[in-house]
């Protein structure tokens, strides 16, 4: 005679409240892991930004711009103001006159590649102390007149990190000091180092 099993159907599903509680526990665990992951990503992003800001903390104080001077109206001379608003000097400073608009070279690198029109309008300063300074660079008289003249400055900071401030203000890190960076483009010794004038 077959054995009769008189079990309720829900007995095969286990205790329903316990099953619901298990699902809730798993959901809570997934949510906690997701939150931990997001917090970790935010922390890493914040630490990365902090390290980036610290790395740029000295370089961001250095800038250059072309300053119109009534005493210097020569079409082949540009007076460039330099400012180092930090409390420490920067080193191996290369400053060049470039163009903001038009077909003329808008970077020092592009000037150096135009060897056929003569030397690039670049001045070199061995050390730039804190304060405001000025240098005069000569640019080729056949330079295109269209566009507005601006300035770029490349330098090494107190930590030996190398930078260039572009004509529109962008601060870019260079892979080597300015001499090593520009030399392959044609900026070769002997270098014409100048002493900057104290600015106003």
What token pair was written down for 176? 């080597």
Asked whether the whole model's pTM tops 0.75, one would answer: no
Closest listed residue to residue 134, CA positions, set 85, 193, 79: 79
Closest listed residue to residue 83, CA positions, set 19, 131, 37, 42: 131
Residue 7 vs residue 91, higher pLDDT: 91
Torsion of CA 163, 165, 166, 172, to 10 degrees: 40
| Averaged pLDDT for residues 93-122 | 81
Give the pLDDT score at 106. 86
- Residue spans per domain, the chain: 11-56, 59-198
DSSP per-residue codes, 139-178: --TTS-SSS-EEEEEEEE-TTS-EEEE-TTS-EEEESS-H
Q: Indicate the range of 84-88, 115-119, 165-169, 186-190 predicted with least confidence.
A: 115-119
Closest listed residue to residue 135, CA positions, set 151, 149, 119: 151
Handedness of CA 100, 106, 107, 111 (dihedral sign): negative
| Averaged pLDDT for residues 83-97 | 95
**pLDDT grade for 32, boundaries at 50, 70 and 90:** confident
Task: Find all residues with CB under 8 Å of 105, minimum gap 6, and list them.
Answer: 98, 99, 111, 114
Of the chain, the percentage scoring pLDDT greater than 90 comes to 36
Over 60: is that where the pLDDT of 73 sits? no
Task: Give me the CATH topology for the region 59-198.
Answer: Immunoglobulin-like (2.60.40)
When the pLDDT of each residue in the chain is averaged and rounded to a whole number, the result is 80
Closest listed residue to residue 130, CA positions, set 198, 84, 163, 61: 84
Tallying the residues shown for the chain, one arrives at 200
């Amino acid at each position: 005679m077959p054995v009769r099993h008189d079990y309720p159907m829900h007995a095969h599903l286990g205790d329903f409240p316990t099953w619901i509680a298990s699902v809730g526990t798993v959901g809570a665990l997934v949510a906690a892991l997701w939150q931990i992951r997001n917090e970790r990503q935010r922390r890493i992003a914040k630490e990365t930004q902090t390290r980036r800001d610290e790395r740029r903390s000295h370089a961001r104080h250095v800038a250059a711009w072309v300053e119109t001077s009534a005493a210097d109206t020569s079409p082949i001379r540009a007076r460039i103001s330099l400012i180092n608003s930090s409390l420490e000097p920067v080193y191996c400073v290369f400053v060049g006159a470039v163009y903001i608009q038009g077909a003329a070279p808008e970077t020092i690198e592009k000037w150096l590649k135009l060897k056929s029109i003569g030397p690039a309008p670049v001045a070199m300063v061995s050390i730039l102390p804190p304060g405001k300074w000025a240098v005069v660079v000569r640019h080729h008289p056949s330079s295109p007149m269209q566009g507005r003249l601006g300035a770029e400055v490349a330098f090494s900071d107190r930590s030996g990190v190398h930078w260039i401030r572009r004509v529109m203000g962008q601060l870019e890190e260079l892979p080597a000091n300015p001499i090593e960076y520009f030399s392959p483009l044609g900026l070769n010794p002997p270098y014409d180092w100048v002493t900057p004038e104290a600015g106003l």
